[in-house]
Each structure stands twice: as structure tokens, then as C-alpha cells.
Amino acid sequence: MGDKRLSYPIHSTDTEEKTSLSYPSLYHVVLLNDDYTTMEFVQKVIEKVFHKTAQEAMQIMLEVHRTGKGVAGTYTRDIARTKAERVMHLAFRENFPLKCIVEKI
Ligand code: TYC
């Protein structure tokens, strides 16, 4: 991959400016393991919030269960934060302590 910073001139009537653009940074939404949230609930939440198939969601859930954490999806900052909030809101409603964090990559 080349330099992700793009630079190009913008022509206006009497001056020429340079504008620099970058792609937005990406963030992992990371699920954390706990001893109380059910596997079924975690799988369903991953399907619903991250648009994963049942099989993909099961793999992610099992990765979290075995290793303590796992990436459910990767997004720009605000989308990642919103999804993490949505996961924890759904869990809180069901009295599960499921936690989800956002990590810049
Ligand atoms: N460890 C939980 C159990 O055995 C299942 C679980 C998986 C919980 C993933 C949280 O993010 C999680 N019921």
C-alpha cells in the first residue's frame, strides 16, 4: 500500500492551494469475555449488530470465550463507538455484564 495521504491542487480564480486529505482511521470493536453472558446471547448480538452470519457469529463468540477477547468488526470511530454502545445496551437490558471496547488499529 502506498502513502494514504493524497495531495492535489485546487484551482480557484486567482490562487492555487494545496489540500491534503487522509482516509479516516479505523477502529476494532472488541468483545470481552465474562462468565455470565450466555453464548447464545453473544452470538445473536453479533449477528444483529455486526451483520454476521450465524456461523461467523459463532466463530467470533467462541474466539472470545477461548481467548478472552475478539474482534466483532472494524469501522470508522463513530460507527465503532455506536456499535459498542448498542452491544452493551442490549446486554444491560437482559442483565448481562457483556463489555465491548473500541481499539484504534
Ligand atoms: N464465557 C461465556 C460463557 O461461558 C460466553 C461468552 C462469550 C461471554 C463471549 C462473553 O463476549 C463473550 N457463558
Tens of pLDDT along 5-21?
555 555 555 566 678 99
Nearest CA to ligand 1 atom 10: 33
pLDDT the model gives residue 14: 56
**Shortest-distance atom of ligand 1 to CA 37:** 8
Q: Which of 47, 53, 45 is nearest to 86 (CA)?
A: 45
Fold of the domain spanning 26-104: Ribosomal Protein L30; Chain: A, (3.30.1390)
Q: Is 44 exposed, middle or buried (0-12, 13-18, 19+ CB in 10 A)?
A: middle
Task: Please state, in angstroms and rounded to a whole number, the distance separating the CA atoms of residues 16 and 14.
Answer: 7
Distance 78 CA to ligand 1 centre (A): 26
71-102 pLDDT, tens per residue? 999 999 999 999 999 999 999 999 999 999 99
Ligand 1 centroid–CA 65 distance in Å is 5
Instruction: Report how far Cα 101 is from the mean position of its chain's Cα atoms.
Output: 9
Which atom of ligand 1 lies at the shortest distance from residue 65's CA?
7
How far, in Å, CA of 11 to CA of 43, rounded? 52
Would you kindly state where each structural domain of the chain is located, as residue ranges?
Answer: 26-104
- Interatomic CA distance for residues 4 and 21, integer angstroms: 9
Whole-model pTM: value is: 0.84
